[in-house]
Amino acid sequence: MEGNLITGAFLGGYLAQMNKSLDDGCSAEDLKPFLQMICSMLVTKESPELCAYFVSKEYGIDEASNDIDRVMGFTEFAGML
């Protein structure tokens, strides 16, 4: 739960820089660089790009039908941190 709150706050700040909010959701194009940044901070043998690709596929971020569902997939991932 703690990782979820911290990462959600980071995502909220990231979106605010683009004049967007979590309530609006997040496009895949906007979320990809953020995922790569989060992955670069994780201890993993994969590159940040490969990590972000895996997270996107595992949590349905790329396949989400809308921007709100995409944020929900990211939130699920963040809860695992």
Amino acid 60: pLDDT: 92
In the predicted model, is pLDDT for residue 74 greater than 80? Answer: yes
User: Which residues neighbour 48 within 8 Å (Cβ) at sequence distance 6 or greater?
Assistant: 36, 37, 39, 40
In the predicted model, is pLDDT for residue 4 greater than 60? Answer: no
Nearest to 75 by CA among 26, 40, 30: 26
Amino acid 1: pLDDT: 47
Q: Encode pLDDT of 23-67 as tens digits.
A: 888 888 888 999 998 899 887 888 999 999 999 999 999 899 999
Angle at 46 between CA 71 and CA 68, to 5 degrees: 5
pTM for this predicted structure: 0.75
Nearest to 65 by CA among 22, 11, 25: 25
- Confidence grade of residue 3 (pLDDT, cut at 50, 70, 90): low
**How confident is the model over 6-27, as a mean pLDDT?**
82
Give me the residue spans of the domains in the chain.
2-79
